[in-house]
Amino acid sequence: MKARIFIAFAALALAVVAVPVAQAWWHTGPDVDQRLSGSTHVVDVDESGNTTSLLLLQAKGQRGKANATGRIFWGPLVPDERCHPEFPLGADIISLEWVETYSNGSLLTGNAPEGGLLCATFEGLIAAEIHGDISGGTGRFEGASGIWTVVATTPAENQGITGTLTADLY
């Protein structure tokens, strides 16, 4: 009887210790994989045609649910051969900063250096794929660093935005 109890406890200990280690080793794919939805609001267009917008988003998926806010600053929209023919206008992203706030108070922050591209139609539909760096975090993201990618679209007629955020944390 004592031998069976010992074996049961040994198996339980192995499951508690070895399984999480194996899952971390077995893990493939991004550490953060979330769907985004919300709104974008133009707050300024300067004399050069550079635009500043605020982003108010909900993020849901791997790593949980969060409220996300951001600020994106981009240059004027002009015909751009780097964009797909469906989106003939392009604008260089000058800067982007964002923060996700989780229900437990943890924060995850990111930014994009100058050089990203935003593409648009003449009717105002915008599509973007933006890459940047995880710049920090608090709580469960304390000391976070890594890289991220956002793929998003926003129809100008309703200021809505949908997309995905993926990130690899180091």
pLDDT confidence bin for 9, thresholds 50/70/90: very low
pTM here is 0.79
Is 18 a domain residue?
A: no
Residue with tokens 């995905």: 164
Look up the domain containing 83 and give its range: 31-169
Q: 54-75, pLDDT tens digit by residue? A: 999 999 999 899 999 999 999 9
Task: Name the β-bridge partners of 149.
Answer: 131, 166
Residue 55's pLDDT is what? 94
Does 64 reside within a domain? yes
User: Is residue 77 included in any domain, yes or no?
Assistant: yes
Residue 9 lies in a domain: no
12 contact partners, CB below 8 Å, separation of at least 6? none
Whether pLDDT at 15 is above 80: no
Report if residue 120 sits inside a domain: yes
Written as one string, the DSSP assignment of 130-148 is EEEEEEEEEGGGTT--EEE
Residue 86, in any domain of the structure: yes
Q: Please indicate, yes or no, if residue 6 is contained in any of the structural domains.
A: no
- When divided into structural domains, the chain yields a total of 1
Which residue did the predictor score with more confidence, 4 or 56?
56
pLDDT above 80: residue 43: yes
- Read off the pLDDT of each residue in 151-167 and give the average, rounded to a whole number: 84
Between CA 89 and CA 155 the distance in angstroms is 14
C-alpha–C-alpha distance, residues 139 and 66, integer Å: 14
84-135 confidence digits (pLDDT tens): 999 999 999 999 999 999 999 999 999 998 888 999 998 888 899 999 999 9
Share of the chain above pLDDT 70, in %: 81
* pLDDT score, position 158: 65
What pLDDT score was predicted for residue 6? Answer: 41
Q: What is the CATH number of the domain that holds 148?
A: 2.40.350
Tell me the backbone φ, ψ of residue 96, rounded to 5 degrees: -150, 130
Q: Is residue 56 part of a domain?
A: yes
pLDDT score recorded for residue 17: 42
Residue 165 predicted with pLDDT over 90 = yes
Give the helix ranges, DSSP H, for the chain. Answer: 2-26
